[in-house]
Amino acid sequence: MTIDMSQFYQVFFDESDELLAEAERLLLELDIGDPSSEDLNAIFRAAHSIKGGAATFGMTDMTEITHVLENLLDRIRKNEMELKAEHVDVFLAAKDILKMQLDGHRSGSAVDQDAVNDIKLTLQKLAQEGGRAVTPPPVTLAVAAQVAETVAQEAEQALSTDATKQYRVQLPELPEKDVTALSEELALLGTVEALPAVGKCHVLKLSTEESLDNIVAICSFILDPDDLVITELEAATDSSGHTKAAASGKQQLLLEIPDVADKDMATLVSELELLGKVTLQPAAGNLQSLWLETEESRDSILAVSSFVVDADKLKISERGDAVTLAPAQAAPAKAKSLDEGDFGLFDSSEAKPASAAPQPEAKVQQGEPVENKRVAPRRESDKAVASQETTSIRVGIEKVDQLINLVGELVITQAMIEQRTSTLDPMLHERLLNSVGQLTRNTRDLQEAVMSIRMMPMDYVFSRFPRMVRDLAGKLGKKVEFVTNGAATELDKGLIERIVDPLTHLVRNSVDHGIESPEVRTAAGKNPIGRLSLSAGHMGGNIIIEVSDDGGGLNRERILNKAKSSGLSVSDNMPDSDVWQLIFAPGFSTAEQVTDVSGRGVGMDVVKRNITAMGGVVDIRSASGYGTTISISLPLTLAILDGMSVRVGDEVYILPLSFVMESLQPSADDVKDVTGQGRLVKVREDYLPLIPLYQMFGIEPLHREPENGILVVLQADGKKAALFVDELVGQQQVVVKNLESNYRKVAGISGATILGDGGVSLILDVANLLRSSRQLIAEPSIH
């Protein structure tokens, strides 16, 4: 029976990804001077789990690296070696290599073999250095040799006889697959031989240079260490462990059964197999014989056998300790002889049962509770494992999206019912209206719950930065303290994935341009260690993500000069906020020199574009000498937005509320014509361009004069404009539907939604409107 392993690959990949990420996080958090043993253990476990998985799937390259890694970690966690900064660096590099190998296995991407070998050698070197300091050299050599796995099998064998010890590991009752898994685990420590089972307990012989503790640690992944019996064998034990097995309470008994039918024999064998291992011997005449290896007493055997054969006729003889031949070899040879006396080595069976008699009851009684005790803890641990597994499930994103769509439909239907029942007489239809009210509440709850499925903590993004900042700061010779806040803040998965790149860019920028070198900082009277903080939090219906550094701040003069030289229209008395927005212009970089980190001027505009595409807004605050904060405001999700419905003529449109600043009815005096083309409206101290929606969309409006209608002040891309509509209808949450799935993109429209009455309403693309209005109306000045 072969199992198709490929179905488990994905699980292994996902798990390894998580483990690697976890290991990296722990490594970064490690306090070099005083590493917490818990963290070290966790890192060790991660390495070990990956090794186990990789070995199972035959990914030997990963097994090799993890094995070396594991050895080093193990010695560190046992305080046999001191943790040094270089270790952490190497471990991080090893993690990268493992990640590369993992990706290689997953998607067939290229694996840099040189890098793999480099890291293997580095790890081995570290293991040797550390070993010399603490442990006796031969063992270290053995470890290194084994670790490299370059040593030929013979050499390893030779080593194992010198430096290794042999252990007899008696396992508790375990399913076959666990035993196999365990043997494979142990095989990584040394050579494993299966010895004949004792009752239902498997026995392994392990030759290894690892300590007893290690063996127990490995076994403890699969079973309760208390159930484990490990005894050390003399190094020179001959390859047959049978004698030892016998000595530990197991007996090899020869049963001779005369005059028995084949059918009865079969029954007997199956009965006896319950007691231990049965080896059938060739029948001699009508005398059947078999070997039974068991812990049970003779009385038990007699009791079992008596169901099938007359107890008097059954002969049980014990095999002497002196026999060194395996029974399977010995017996067939000897069984040829019909004469029982020829065996000579065995005592007469009649005498033995009597001498064994006093034991049986005690044994049987003992056997039962032991069995129970063994089973109980297993079940408990099974339960613990199960409960851990059920805390999260992996579900395809399309399933979640489907669920969200369906709930969206439900919300619309519910709104429809609500709208239709609202005209009913509340006195006559009290009960119906109550039920509708309840439906409304339940629908809201359901919607919230379903939306939360897609939500992921920001930690998913934040967790990748400590490493990046550390590497970058090291490369640039800067000292940076990295702090995160609000990592638990949740954001839609779709947004989370899209925010990674812009954030990476901003963090890089902060380390490269923002934070100064330690000398400059000291000269400026600042702490030589720069501080970079990444925070996330809710504000209104938005998520605010801020990248903040305490570096030099943006240089207003330099930005203005650069802008002038690149031909952007700027004036010296622009407000700071407008100057800062200039850095989002394509090709804009004020870095004095281009580094491989940043400075090429590609990026900030891409950052801005990506964030705008997500419906977000980027804002910069900066003070010279005190640092820069870049603040990104994002909607909670893309699937649902808060909208303001506005009417023009017969049409109702939805404006995303995030763009709406305010709405007002202007007086006729505040509206000015500019060169007969466009119109401006004075809103407090600002003159804003007026966008008449009816003109842009060619609708017959109710009002043509702004003072009769309503102006909605919109802000997008840092530009403000006033949209002229007939009236405001209301504010509501709408489910965004894609117009392009069955139609095509329409300029000025970002999507559609379904209103409470079942009708469709289009959602306005505010940024696009503002842009096209500028083309429609002759470019008005903004201030």
* Residue from 49, 633, 761, 773 in contact with another protein (CB under 8 A): 761
Alpha-carbon span 50 to 724, nearest angstrom: 62
* Residue from 746, 771, 774, 776 in contact with another protein (CB under 8 A): 746
Cβ-contact 729, 757 below 8 angstroms: no
**By the rule CB under 8 A, 741 interacts with another protein:** yes
- Rank residues 118 and 700 by Cβ distance to another protein and give the closer one: 700
- Residue with token string 């769509």: 405
| Residue 681 parent element (H or E) | strand 678-683
Report the Cα–Cα distance between both ends of the chain, in Å, rounded.
78
Alpha-carbon span 687 to 720, nearest angstrom: 9
**By the rule CB under 8 A, 762 interacts with another protein:** yes
Phi, psi of 197 (to 5 degrees): -65, 150
Closest CA to 411 of 740, 737, 764: 737
- Rank residues 591 and 699 by Cβ distance to another protein and give the closer one: 699
* Residue from 129, 184, 740, 779 in contact with another protein (CB under 8 A): 740
- Rank residues 290 and 646 by Cβ distance to another protein and give the closer one: 646
Residues numbered 210-239 forming contacts with another protein, rule: CB under 8 A: none
Cβ-contact 368, 339 below 8 angstroms: no
Structure letter (DSSP) for residue 669: G
| Region binding another protein by CB under 8 A among candidate stretches 201-209, 232-240, 724-732, 751-759 | 751-759
Give Cα separations from 468 to 102, 152, 457, 474, 651 (angstroms): 20, 40, 19, 10, 51
**By the rule CB under 8 A, 402 interacts with another protein:** no
Residues with Cβ within 8 Å of residue 208, at least 6 apart in sequence:
160, 164, 165, 167, 186, 189, 190, 191, 214, 215
CA dihedral 180, 184, 187, 191 (to 10 degrees): 30
| Residue 533 parent element (H or E) | strand 530-539
**By the rule CB under 8 A, 700 interacts with another protein:** no
Alpha-carbon span 203 to 196, nearest angstrom: 6
CB 740 → another protein: shortest distance, Å? 7
Strand partners, 542: 539, 635
CB 730 → another protein: shortest distance, Å? 17
Cβ-contact 297, 359 below 8 angstroms: yes
Strand partners, 276: 294
| Region binding another protein by CB under 8 A among candidate stretches 339-347, 433-441, 477-485, 739-747 | 739-747
| Region binding another protein by CB under 8 A among candidate stretches 483-491, 654-662, 746-754, 773-781 | 746-754
Strand partners, 618: 632
- Rank residues 174 and 712 by Cβ distance to another protein and give the closer one: 712
**By the rule CB under 8 A, 752 interacts with another protein:** yes
- Rank residues 272 and 749 by Cβ distance to another protein and give the closer one: 749
Alpha-carbon span 166 to 205, nearest angstrom: 7
- Rank residues 168 and 737 by Cβ distance to another protein and give the closer one: 737
- Rank residues 520 and 746 by Cβ distance to another protein and give the closer one: 746
Cβ-contact 653, 762 below 8 angstroms: yes
**Environment class of 621 (CB within 10 Å of its CB; exposed 0-12, middle 13-18, buried 19+):** middle
Alpha-carbon span 289 to 467, nearest angstrom: 69
| Region binding another protein by CB under 8 A among candidate stretches 306-314, 382-390, 487-495, 758-766 | 758-766
CB 747 → another protein: shortest distance, Å? 7
* C-alpha gyration radius of the chain: 39
Cβ-contact 733, 753 below 8 angstroms: no
Binding mask 647-686 toward another protein (x if CB under 8 A, else -) reads: ----x-----------------------------------
CB 606 → another protein: shortest distance, Å? 23
CB 650 → another protein: shortest distance, Å? 8
**By the rule CB under 8 A, 702 interacts with another protein:** no
**By the rule CB under 8 A, 758 interacts with another protein:** yes
* Long-range pairs of 353-357 with CB within 8 A, sequence gap ≥ 24: 353/298, 353/299, 353/302, 353/316, 356/297, 356/298, 356/299, 357/297, 357/299
Instruction: Determine the length of the chain.
Output: 783
CB 653 → another protein: shortest distance, Å? 9
Closest CA to 746 of 765, 726, 718: 765
Binding mask 166-205 toward another protein (x if CB under 8 A, else -) reads: ----------------------------------------
| Residue 166 parent element (H or E) | strand 165-173
**By the rule CB under 8 A, 745 interacts with another protein:** yes
Closest CA to 146 of 190, 186, 182, 184: 190
Residues numbered 462-501 forming contacts with another protein, rule: CB under 8 A: none
| Region binding another protein by CB under 8 A among candidate stretches 98-106, 162-170, 189-197, 693-701 | 693-701
* Residue from 747, 778, 779, 783 in contact with another protein (CB under 8 A): 747
- Residue with token string 């079973």: 223
Alpha-carbon span 46 to 405, nearest angstrom: 38
Alpha-carbon span 745 to 738, nearest angstrom: 9
**By the rule CB under 8 A, 398 interacts with another protein:** no
**By the rule CB under 8 A, 420 interacts with another protein:** no
* Residue from 412, 532, 644, 770 in contact with another protein (CB under 8 A): 412
- Rank residues 369 and 698 by Cβ distance to another protein and give the closer one: 698
- Rank residues 423 and 742 by Cβ distance to another protein and give the closer one: 742
CB 498 → another protein: shortest distance, Å? 22
Cβ-contact 296, 363 below 8 angstroms: yes
Cβ-contact 647, 727 below 8 angstroms: yes
CB 149 → another protein: shortest distance, Å? 53
| Region binding another protein by CB under 8 A among candidate stretches 129-137, 334-342, 455-463, 732-740 | 732-740
**By the rule CB under 8 A, 448 interacts with another protein:** no
| Region binding another protein by CB under 8 A among candidate stretches 228-236, 370-378, 487-495, 756-764 | 756-764
**By the rule CB under 8 A, 552 interacts with another protein:** no
**By the rule CB under 8 A, 737 interacts with another protein:** yes
Binding mask 622-651 toward another protein (x if CB under 8 A, else -) reads: -----------------------------x
**Number of residues this chain uses to bind another protein (CB under 8 A):** 29
- Rank residues 508 and 737 by Cβ distance to another protein and give the closer one: 737
Give, in degrees to the nearest 5, the angle at Cα 546 between 542 and 551.
160
- Rank residues 8 and 697 by Cβ distance to another protein and give the closer one: 697
CB 755 → another protein: shortest distance, Å? 8
- Rank residues 515 and 696 by Cβ distance to another protein and give the closer one: 696
Alpha-carbon span 210 to 36, nearest angstrom: 23
| Region binding another protein by CB under 8 A among candidate stretches 165-173, 230-238, 525-533, 690-698 | 690-698
**By the rule CB under 8 A, 97 interacts with another protein:** no
Closest CA to 412 of 445, 378, 440: 440
Alpha-carbon span 292 to 256, nearest angstrom: 11
Closest CA to 539 of 470, 619, 482, 655: 619
| Region binding another protein by CB under 8 A among candidate stretches 156-164, 393-401, 442-450, 734-742 | 734-742
**By the rule CB under 8 A, 743 interacts with another protein:** yes
| Region binding another protein by CB under 8 A among candidate stretches 287-295, 407-415, 481-489, 715-723 | 407-415
- Residue with token string 């190497």: 90
Give Cα separations from 420 to 432, 436, 446, 755 (angstroms): 12, 10, 22, 13
CB 569 → another protein: shortest distance, Å? 30
**By the rule CB under 8 A, 754 interacts with another protein:** yes
**Binding stretches for another protein (CB under 8 A):** 405, 408-409, 412, 651, 696-699, 737-749, 752, 754, 758-762
